[in-house]
Structure 1
Amino acid sequence: MAPSKQVVYNWYISLLAAGCMVLMGYDSSVFNSVQGSDNWRVHFNNPNPNMIGLINTTYSVGGIICGWFFSGPLADWAGRRWAMAFGCAITVVATFIQCFAPYHNLGCFMAGRVLIGAGQAFAITAGPIYINEVTAANVRGKVMSFWQMFFSVGAFFAYWVNYACSKNKTRLGDWDWKIVVIFQLLLPIVIMVQLPFIPESPRWWIARHGNVDEARASLKRVRTTDEEIEDELLSIREAIAYEQGAAPGKRQQYLSFWKDKSIRRRLCLAFLINIGQQLTGQGTLNAYSSTIYKSVFKDLDTVNLVNALNATFGIVFTLNATWTVDRYGRRFLFIVGACGMAMTTMLMAVVGLTTPNVDGTKTYPVGVGIATLAFLFAFFYKPSWGATTWIYTAEIFPTHVRAPAVGMSVQMQGVANTIFQQFFPIFYANEGLKSFFFFMTLNIMLAVGVFFLLPETKNVPLEQMDTLFGGVSHVDKGAEILEKHGDYVEEEKRV
């Protein structure tokens, strides 16, 4: 049976919001790409390895500051759509600053990196919240899996544009890296044009304005039956009634993280998995794959081609989450992914350390073997710690703290990434492929941590997460509040 127009429209608006992740995927690959350009290095006076690490750090700092303190409040105040639009607009401005930074003015380029990190913080906080709040519980994981897939789409475009430009670097001159940077304008403009015409989150309408009619109108565009609409609307009203009337930290949002034991537990777990996403080694591989591949391949064109192919396969690998995350659950993917990455990082180190160097690099067959293992690493990472981390983070918090909690949690990726990006170039220069034993150990620890600490959230409605994590039922408590104040609906409309 063909899906209803509401289901199709739900997928459309969710994928539009997921486009915000293309910004992050593209930009996370841009600097890895352009730093390999001789023209870029000459333009910015040949920055040393420490400065390269600092450029990566400035990008993360912009995201961390905005993600922790501004992105959540903006998404709660202006709405999920306008927070995404604001992030896209900053990304457009930052792209121009990076692309047209004056000759030898690395500070201007770095300022663009700070701004682009800030813009992405707004977009990647509001995006997953919006998707979770407009999507039905039984397909929420499947829809959210496209969030990470769009990261791979961004990387795909960045690496292939870079590969094409690098093949024509003599003719293009400085534009061999500027084209790679300027292409980042395309998608944020496309997203901004469409955002005003899609429905706002029904949960935001009720939490921010108490507007049940607008919330119902939003749900009518993405749900198929009146019964389904009224049941979900009632659950939302009940949960929010409790959160606004009785939950700890009613007017002091951030204090709820410490006063409510259930929310505090969820915040700690969200921090753990988002830091864990970087501990897997993926962030480091993504940012420094060109450096690593240069030690196993002699030709820069080969390095660029391997990066582009890795990004291409990343899209396919992420699609595995669409049929596994709602079938086998989040815990399954986390554990299998961590074990698979532990195996591949170990093998990368073993292959690299047990084969000889020839003229400073590995032989071509060995290089192909190491690149294949990097692809296998992506096979395990993309549907698990790539996609599932975002799914889990965006779905576990109650409405009244969801936006700031998601903003803070996802920026823990930036905190961990900042630390890794600063020391990894030196670590790799000193230890080479031995450094991958470090990631092997961390992945084993992550699998054990998930097994003992994370509850399963598969098919659990957003308004029931509080009970799952040991808190009171916001729906039941809210029902009592609504009934007490006479602001209730007929009992037969309840599930």
Structure 2
Amino acid sequence: MPTKERIYNWYICMVAAMCMVLYGYDASVFNAAQNSDNWLKWFGLDSKADTYLIGLVNTAYTIGAIVAGWFFGGPIADRFGRRTGMGIGCFVTIIATFMQTFAPYHNIGCFIGGRVLIGLGQGIALTAGPVYINEMAPAEIRGTVMTFWQLNYSVGSFIAYWIAYATGIYKTRLGDWDWRMVVIFQMLVPIIVLVLLPFLPESPRWWVKRHNNIDNARAALRKIRHTEQEVEDELLAIREAIEFEKEAVGASYWALFKDPSIRKRLYLAFAINVGQQLTGQGTLNSYSSAIYKQVWKEKSTIDLINALNATCGILFTLNAAWTADRYGRRWLLMVGACGMALAMMLVPVVGQTTPTINGVKSNSVGIAIVFLLFVFTFFYKPSWGATVWIWTAEVFSVNVRAQAVGMCSQMQNVANTIFQQFFPAFLANTGLKCLFFFMAVNVCLAAFVFFFLPETKQVPIEEIDVLFGGANHVEKGGNLLGVPDAHHATTAPTAMNHDDIEKQEPEIQQAERAPDAKEIKI
């Protein structure tokens, strides 16, 4: 039977995970918008003649996100708190949504400016969100909880594509609002997150690291851990790790490059985050409409396929919830890469070996291609979709965690910025044969994981450094603090839960007011 603390723990993590809806929605909204003739007409664009300009509109977002992730996301989350980082990111996203929705006629510059700004907002939110979840979730279910971070990417796509499908049906009646409606709904989830954030506890690790405020850290932990022993044990581990990092590693971000253990993690995380986009998912999510146009000509059919794909994406991501903490991160990444490679091989084979009639494929061939792309999504979502975020957010020590997660996650957008700028021309020149490139990449990614990535499932984040050749921060910090048992707080009441503490609260307060009351420290 789940405790009220565990249920509340899930709730606060799900609120933080809603920040990922911003990313999923935005990655899909441009795909939906560029499929609208009214959007092209409003900004004076030709889908065939202006492929590079359309590519620039898409990559403008990634430029803003990269700047935020590398230079703003980490410092904001570390200085002002994880909640503040998520809040700032959501607020900027709302402002940027207005800029895109009400961009003046033929003023593509305003729309691009909104895309850059929305990238800044999401880069900040997407740094603070996964850090918050990993710092609040207990080690034994950390992978399961983080699965819902990636699931919310699919939720964002789900909302965007179904709105696009609905507005496409009524495009004659809606006129220019067929694309504006898709864009303006992007502010819905950020508003919800902004309303809920003030009622969430701040990360106990941030309280200790930033302010050395043990009382507030303990109060936050009491809301999400069932017994006082759990609270004190985790608080002790946090203090020990932070003390060691402060003394031996350094509190500045230079530790990312000076410490060999952290540097190794940084480069590995860079590689898998770049790999996530080179699997083909990032390109498919932005240009699936262009790919489907080689099979079908009806816009409504393409919108429906995108919406169904996003719907299945939610269901497919849930597979990580029961596999990430059972079979591990490495298993998921390798199986996912092999499955995606197979799908990316079969799609162009089917496309190249079947006849084309009047410029399009038959319905049966089209259904086969869509089925294979759904198979690709089936393998991608729980593996290189969810697990890359899980692994990235859990492997760094608290002194560099926010900055490292911001930098690593934005390597996805570095890869996107480079690759998607020329992908429209790549697709136009080679057709479905361009998917062979993704097949080869996925084979290489499976080999990379097998040879280089260590398993991190159920390892406490304060002790994960050992997997990468670093010291055990808890044990070393325990020595610095002079703690007899680095893994257990001996002063905590072992059999007392929070209900017992609440019953004894009047006696505790009276004892604290007594003249001879003494402060008890771990």
Q: TM-score range by the shorter chain?
A: over 0.9
Q: Within 5 A, what are the aligned runs for 1:328-343?
A: 328-343=327-342
1:190 aligns with 2:192: yes
3-state SS of paired residue (2:151): helix
* Residue of structure 1 equivalent to 2:15: 16
* Residue of structure 2 equivalent to 1:293: 292
Distance (Å, rounded) in 1 between the aligned partners of 2:45 and 2:238: 55
Cα deviation, residue 482, structure 1: 1.2
Q: Within 5 A, what are the aligned runs for 1:381-420?
A: 381-420=380-419
3-state SS of paired residue (1:477): helix
Cα deviation, residue 493, structure 1: 5.3
- Of the three residues 86, 107, 110, the one matched with 1:108 is 110
3-state SS of paired residue (1:358): coil
The answer as to whether partners of 2:78 and 2:402 remain within 8 angstroms in 1 is yes
- Of the three residues 165, 170, 173, the one matched with 2:172 is 170
Aligned residues, how many?
489
Distance (Å, rounded) in 1 between the aligned partners of 2:270 and 2:411: 6
Cα deviation, residue 246, structure 1: 2.1
3-state SS of paired residue (2:482): helix
The answer as to whether partners of 2:337 and 2:445 remain within 8 angstroms in 1 is yes
1:52-109 residue CA offsets vs partner (Å, 9 max, x unmatched): 1011111100000110011000000000000000000000000000000000000000
* Residue of structure 1 equivalent to 2:131: 129
1:362-417 residue CA offsets vs partner (Å, 9 max, x unmatched): 11110111001110000000000000000000000000000000000000000001
Gaps of 5+ in 1: none
The answer as to whether partners of 1:32 and 1:289 remain within 8 angstroms in 2 is yes
Q: Which amino acid aligns with 2:52?
A: N
Cα deviation, residue 494, structure 1: 12
The answer as to whether partners of 2:29 and 2:182 remain within 8 angstroms in 1 is yes
* Residue of structure 2 equivalent to 1:3: 2
Percent identity, please.
Answer: 61
> Aligned pair in 2 of structure 1 residues 196, 174: CA closer, same or farther (>3 Å)?
same
Superposition TM-score, scaled by structure 1 size: 0.97
Gaps of 5+ in 2: 495-522
The answer as to whether partners of 1:153 and 1:311 remain within 8 angstroms in 2 is yes
- Rg bigger for which structure? 2
The answer as to whether partners of 2:229 and 2:489 remain within 8 angstroms in 1 is no
* Residue of structure 2 equivalent to 1:79: 81
The answer as to whether partners of 1:20 and 1:188 remain within 8 angstroms in 2 is yes
Superposition TM-score, scaled by structure 2 size: 0.92
Q: Alpha carbon RMSD of aligned pairs, Å?
A: 1.5
The answer as to whether partners of 2:228 and 2:492 remain within 8 angstroms in 1 is no
Distance (Å, rounded) in 1 between the aligned partners of 2:235 and 2:255: 24
* Residue of structure 1 equivalent to 2:376: 377
* Residue of structure 1 equivalent to 2:498: none
Distance (Å, rounded) in 2 between the aligned partners of 1:204 and 1:245: 17
1:316-344 residue CA offsets vs partner (Å, 9 max, x unmatched): 00000000000000000000000000000
Q: Within 5 A, what are the aligned runs for 1:298-313?
A: 298-313=297-312
3-state SS of paired residue (2:183): helix
> Aligned pair in 2 of structure 1 residues 458, 490: CA closer, same or farther (>3 Å)?
closer
> Aligned pair in 2 of structure 1 residues 489, 211: CA closer, same or farther (>3 Å)?
farther
The answer as to whether partners of 1:234 and 1:494 remain within 8 angstroms in 2 is no
Distance (Å, rounded) in 2 between the aligned partners of 1:408 and 1:107: 27
Distance (Å, rounded) in 1 between the aligned partners of 2:290 and 2:225: 49
- Of the three residues 46, 64, 67, the one matched with 1:65 is 67
* Residue of structure 2 equivalent to 1:53: 55
Distance (Å, rounded) in 1 between the aligned partners of 2:487 and 2:472: 18
1:196-237 residue CA offsets vs partner (Å, 9 max, x unmatched): 111000000000000011000000000001111111110000
**Runs of 4+ in structure 1 over 6 Å off:** none
Q: Within 5 A, what are the aligned runs for 1:246-325?
A: 246-247=248-249, 249-250=250-251, 252-253=252-253, 255-325=254-324
Distance (Å, rounded) in 2 between the aligned partners of 1:256 and 1:298: 54
Cα deviation, residue 490, structure 1: 5.8
